[in-house]
Amino acid sequence: MCAVKLMQGNEAVSWGALAAGCRFYAGYPITPSTEIAEMLARELPKLGGKFIQMEDEIASLAACIGASAGGLKSMTATSGPGFSLMQEHIGYAAMTEIPCVIVDVQRLGPSTGQPTSASQGDVMQARWGTHGDHPIIVLSPTSVRQSFDLAVTAFNFSEKYRTPVILLLDEVVGHMRERVELPEFESVARVERVGTNVPPEWYKPYGDSISDVPPMADFGTGYRYHITGLFHDVMGYPTQRLDEIDPWIERVHRKIDRNLHDILLVEEDTEMAKTVVVAYGATARSARHAVQLAHSRRHKVGLVTLLTIWPFAEEVISRIAHSARRIIVPEMNLGQLVLEVERIAGRTKVVRVNCANGELIKPQRILDAIEGR
């Protein structure tokens, strides 16, 4: 039977992580994500998992990467300042193709900003925060139940594609409480990383595979291989050979690009719409109410809710731009994801509705934009 509970978004993330099989958490407390650490400190040991409070966010993600290499599904959680500190290790996880989940509950910034105020200011940092070229998967829930579901999905994507995945909440979703029905853990669909059945001397940790995702052997199971942040060959050893570097770059991007049908999660209701609102996170809740008000006034308005932020839903936005006259993008920042919409929309008018003072954008502001006020 499903459990009916009143809970925060942060709590739902924790339950989703446990349901997905998370058995290691390393983190440093930071508002507004601290509830995740508090809950997992209590619940992980009950399931035989490990919780470690680290000295900072840099060490936290490093510990998660190490635990994942040892075979444990691993997660950390933070907010803006800590997320900034994690960027080097996010790039390291991408280069070494080690699965892990990073939760960023966004707060107002820059710097320490206002820890309990809402923001969506880390959207571009989630995509471009690390140096170099590599793909990244970023998911963003709009509700408490979606926080649970997307936490599970984040782990599944991470294991399936051997990549770090970022779960990008905002303070509103992280701290609000809703009545939710959570499924029994046994009924939750889990994806486990693909292991290898070849002898250790034959194993190639970064070799070619049909799926572009090489099998991953866990440390401590008889397999010992090299892991480095440098460009490496199929055995994991540093290389400067272009005939080894180029195929790696192509494969790491291809394993995401060829699976966009699986990774891109979008909720869309745009039939006959002349104006379309594109939103994500807590702002999508205001957008949904604004669209309902617009329908009551007989406006032809649609709504697209992006649950996957990165990779960006280019085909969806391109299709909308060809049929709609206007696209409205509300964000709790001064304009970040709207840059992607504008890039794709071409001549279709794009209207920005922005707020970067810690307040949630109210439905009336979005309705005003719909009605051209």
Considering only CA atoms, which of 200, 204, 197, 261 is closest in space to residue 233?
Answer: 204
Q: How large a percentage of the chain has pLDDT more than 90?
A: 95
Confidence band for 209, pLDDT divided at 50, 70 and 90 = confident
Give the SS3 label for residue 305: strand
In a domain, 316, yes or no: yes
Chain length of the chain: 373
> What average pLDDT does the segment 197-209 reach?
91
Residue 2: per-residue pLDDT: 67
> What letter represents residue 17's amino acid?
A
Of 187, 216, 232, the position where a domain reaches its end is 187
Q: Say if residue 25 is in the same domain as residue 157.
A: yes
CA distance 141 to 220: 36
Of 187, 207, 233, the position where a domain reaches its end is 187
Confidence band for 3, pLDDT divided at 50, 70 and 90 = confident
In a domain, 216, yes or no: no
Q: Say if residue 34 is in the same domain as residue 164.
A: yes
Q: Say if residue 141 is in the same domain as residue 274.
A: no
Q: How many domains does the chain have?
A: 2
> What average pLDDT does the segment 67-89 reach?
97
pLDDT in tens, 87-100: 999 999 999 999 99
Q: Say if residue 180 is in the same domain as residue 287.
A: no
Q: Is the pLDDT score of 263 beyond 60?
A: yes
Q: Is the pLDDT score of 84 beyond 90?
A: yes
In a domain, 245, yes or no: no
pLDDT in tens, 26-63: 999 999 999 999 999 999 999 999 999 999 999 999 99
Residue 60: per-residue pLDDT: 98
CB burial string 73-103: b at 16+ within 10 A, e below:
bbbbbbbbbbbbbbbebbbbbbbbbbbbbbb
Q: Is the pLDDT score of 369 beyond 80?
A: yes
CB burial string 348-372: b at 16+ within 10 A, e below:
bebbebbbbebebbebebbbebbee
Q: For position 290, which CATH number holds?
A: 3.40.50.920
Q: Is the pLDDT score of 1 beyond 70?
A: no
Bridging pattern class, strands 266-269 and 301-306? antiparallel
pLDDT in tens, 286-344: 999 999 999 999 999 999 999 999 999 999 999 999 999 999 999 999 999 999 999 99
pLDDT in tens, 104-132: 999 999 999 999 999 999 999 999 999 99
pTM for the predicted model, two decimal places:
0.96
In a domain, 240, yes or no: no
Q: Say if residue 274 is in the same domain as residue 182.
A: no
| Tally: H helices and E strands in the chain | 14, 15
Name the residue range of residue 281's domain: 266-370
Q: Is the pLDDT score of 227 beyond 60?
A: yes
Q: Say if residue 169 is in the same domain as residue 273.
A: no
